[in-house]
Amino acid sequence: MSTEAQALETTDGFHLVIDALKLNGIDTIYALPGIPITDFLRMAQAEGMKVICFRHEQNAGHAAAAHGYLTGRPGICFTVSAPGFLNGLTALANATTNCFPMILVSGSSEREIVDLQQGDYEEMDQLAIARPLCKAAYRVLHAEDIGVGLARAIRSALSGRPGGVYLDLPAKLFAQSLSTEVARKSLIEVVDPAPRQLPAPEAVERAIDLLKSASKPLVILGKGAAYARADAEIRQFIEATGVPYLPMSMAKGLLPDTHPQCASAARSFVLAEADVVMLVGARLNWLLSHGKGKTWGAGSPKEPARARIIQVDISPIEPDSNVATAAPVIGDIGSCISALNRAIGSGWSRPDAAWTGAIAERKDKNLTRMTETLAKDSSPMTFQTALSVIRDMVRERPDAILVNEGANTLDFCRSTVDMFEPRKRLDVGTWGIMGIGMGYSVAAALVSGKPVIAVCGDSAFGFSGMEVETICRYDLPVCVVVFNNNGVYRGTDVNPRGTEAAPTAFVKDARYEMMMQAFGGVGVRAATRTELRAAIDEAVASGRPTLVNAIIDENAGTESGRITSLNPSAAKKKPA
Ligand code: ADP
Ligand code: MG
């Protein structure tokens, strides 16, 4: 082609967005079509991208977030304007809260009309609304800026503390045309979007000195440590120091939960007793009682932990967020733990046998009790009876991904089901959000190619249940196990006036399995341990979309699961 002809050849915003994504190695889009992105999605598919469409944008967004966590590359979600955008926003905010890299791209209406509030189709100032709910938000007005817009979004999502990014693409942008030559030059392939960040040597030394001074040291591994993919370095550190560790829920499996140094089964004991605690990619938020109170061996609820804190984190403003941090180590976890490993040197002495022995004693006692509880073949099934099946299943298939949401279903599953490999457990995370179930499952199946077992309370499942159609449409190896106890928390709530149903009660004996059957998948009702085991075995072996309606005793749950103390009425009964 002559230079002249080349200069005349044109492309458009649609194709430029696709080219920019592909140039940056992004091959999957989670979405829900509609104006103005329907054609875009068709074109992306025609250009070889994987386009996975959902029934509700929130679930597409959760899928993108899980994709980001599982791959370390930003997950991409496309939605339509205003209502679609708002539906996706919960997922974007949740991803940001959990430090998962994702990019929510929404089409939007014409700036001129939005800004004068003249009432356009789906009018909304999306950029302004998204900004406080995510790590960064950008808008692209000209096709030649698409490359820069996406590059900024990728860098923002991945660098430092990962998070959610909003990218606003007004409808008009997609149709803008420009010369192929100019377009090509405008694209950016992002180099090193998550650069290593080395810790300061003096920070490493300070941390090691403090750890050496401890008589009851403890390491807490969080999902930031799992995200960092420094599995070998972390294992080396734990094993070389001999320090007991606690995995936060999504860090389970970073080292196998059956590791002799794992202190999960003695959680309350180690938190209350430890004198130095090293947090690795975990925050001292509500999930760790803010580092205060009885949990931490302090006398009163507001009193800070007795333990002195070492914090390994990529965010320089995380230390001191709740209690004083004696030794902050700021950098990426891979670099920090490698530096700590080098600094341990040969003069390290392992923790006192008095400490590790006391932990082992607690663990033994609690594990024996748990084994007894799990052995009970209760009918109707209790949470533990049903979870004993999941526990066996995961032990046999450690490569499978476990998705978990609910209240009691979450609490019991987290403490009952051991994980053996890193990044195999996806759950409600930092917010304790409900509704991640099907979105996370779809992404987990696509990204890993492994079986996914989604253990969901009946209430939690309801938030994303319609996506069983999505699971069938893409024929994904997802086995959804609905823990059906006829309600939120439990199925026994009664309206004292005898009029409409009580707030937490559902239709009794609901046939959730028929929802999967409706779309050609397998649906099984399982009322006993044997039936449950057979159904999940079959699902994992066949890889067919399956929903198992696991019938749980409706009396079995506790109100608010293990966070009853956060209920205002419980707080009222308790002195502040
Ligand atoms: P958990 O809920 O498991 O305790 P959190 O989400 O509270 O985990 O904490 C994760 C922490 O990990 C955040 O403070 C975040 O800044 C940090 N983090 C995430 N990725 C990295 C990384 N690559 N290196 C270091 N720290 C990281
Ligand atoms: Mg329930």
pLDDT, residue 572, reads: 61
Please give the DSSP secondary-structure letter assigned to residue 290: G
Q: Within a domain: residue 367? A: no
Tokens of 13: 């915003």
Using the CB atoms, write b or e for 524-534: b if 16+ within 10 Å.
bbbebbebbbe
pLDDT, residue 575, reads: 43
- Are 278 and 286 a contacting pair, CB within 8 Å? no
Angle, vertex CA 176, rays to CA 122 and CA 25, nearest 5: 90
Domain limits for position 541? 376-572
Tokens of 556: 């079995």
Same domain, 335 and 272: yes
CA distance 59 to 397: 26
Q: Does ligand 1 lie within 6 Å of residue 427's CB atom?
A: no
Q: Does ligand 1 lie within 6 Å of residue 281's CB atom?
A: yes
Among the bound ligands, the one closest to the CA of 195: 1
pLDDT, residue 562, reads: 76
Q: What is the mean pLDDT of the chain?
A: 96
pLDDT surpasses 60 at 573: no
pLDDT, residue 522, reads: 98
User: Which ranges of 418-564 would DSSP assign to H, the alpha helix?
Assistant: 437-448, 458-462, 468-473, 513-517, 529-542
Residues 405-451 have pLDDT tens digits of: 999 999 999 999 999 999 999 999 999 999 999 999 999 999 999 99
Q: Does ligand 1 lie within 6 Å of residue 168's CB atom?
A: no
CA distance 465 to 506: 15
Q: Within a domain: residue 317? A: yes
CA 430 to ligand 1: nearest atom: 2
Q: Within a domain: residue 196? A: no
Angle, vertex CA 55, rays to CA 394 and CA 105, nearest 5: 95
Give the β-pairing of 164-170 and 102-108. Answer: parallel
pLDDT, residue 181, reads: 96
3-state secondary structure of 179: strand
Same domain, 443 and 518: yes
Residues 31-79 have pLDDT tens digits of: 999 999 999 999 999 999 999 999 999 999 999 999 999 999 999 999 9
Q: Within a domain: residue 462? A: yes
- Tell me the CA–centroid distance for residue 196 and ligand 2, in Å: 44
Residues 507-536 have pLDDT tens digits of: 999 999 999 999 999 999 999 999 999 999
CA distance 434 to 429: 10
Q: Which of 236, 529, 541, 182 is nearest to 383 (CA)?
A: 529
CA distance 574 to 576: 6
- Write down which residue in 143, 158, 186 finishes a domain: 186
Same domain, 92 and 207: no
Q: Which of 315, 318, 337 to mutate to test the pocket of ligand 1 (most atoms within 8 A of CB)?
A: 315
- Tell me the CA–centroid distance for residue 556 and ligand 2, in Å: 9
Q: Which of 234, 264, 311, 333 to mutate to test the pocket of ligand 1 (most atoms within 8 A of CB)?
A: 333
CA distance 560 to 90: 22
SS (H, E, C) 139-159: ECCCHHHHHHHHHHHHHHHHC
- Tell me the CA–centroid distance for residue 62 and ligand 2, in Å: 22
- Tell me the CA–centroid distance for residue 405 and ligand 1, in Å: 20
CA distance 535 to 311: 44
Give the β-pairing of 10-12 and 177-179. Answer: antiparallel
3-state secondary structure of 329: strand
Percent of the chain past pLDDT 90, that is, above it, reads: 93
CATH number of domain containing 339 = 3.40.50.1220
Tokens of 514: 């028929």
Q: Does ligand 1 lie within 6 Å of residue 313's CB atom?
A: yes
pLDDT, residue 563, reads: 78
Angle, vertex CA 95, rays to CA 90 and CA 97, nearest 5: 95
Same domain, 94 and 213: no
Band of pLDDT at residue 2, cut at 50, 70 and 90: low
- Residue 453, strand partner residues: 402, 479
Angle, vertex CA 424, rays to CA 150 and CA 96, nearest 5: 35
Q: Within a domain: residue 194? A: no
Residues 325-375 have pLDDT tens digits of: 999 999 999 999 999 999 998 889 999 999 999 999 999 999 999 999 999
Tokens 């007004």: give the residue.
170
Q: Does ligand 1 lie within 6 Å of residue 100's CB atom?
A: no
Q: Does ligand 1 lie within 6 Å of residue 212's CB atom?
A: no
pLDDT, residue 554, reads: 93
Residue 417 backbone class (left: φ over 0; alpha: ψ -120 to 50; beta: rest): beta
Q: Does ligand 1 lie within 6 Å of residue 222's CB atom?
A: yes
Band of pLDDT at residue 576, cut at 50, 70 and 90: very low
Among the bound ligands, the one closest to the CA of 251: 1
Q: Within a domain: residue 530? A: yes
Same domain, 388 and 345: no
CA 249 to ligand 1: nearest atom: 3
pLDDT, residue 549, reads: 98
Atom 6 of ligand 1, nearest CA residue: 98
SS (H, E, C) 76-123: EEEECCHHHHHHHHHHHHHHHHHCCCEEEEEEECCHHHHHCCCCCCCC
What total of structural domains would you count in the chain? 3
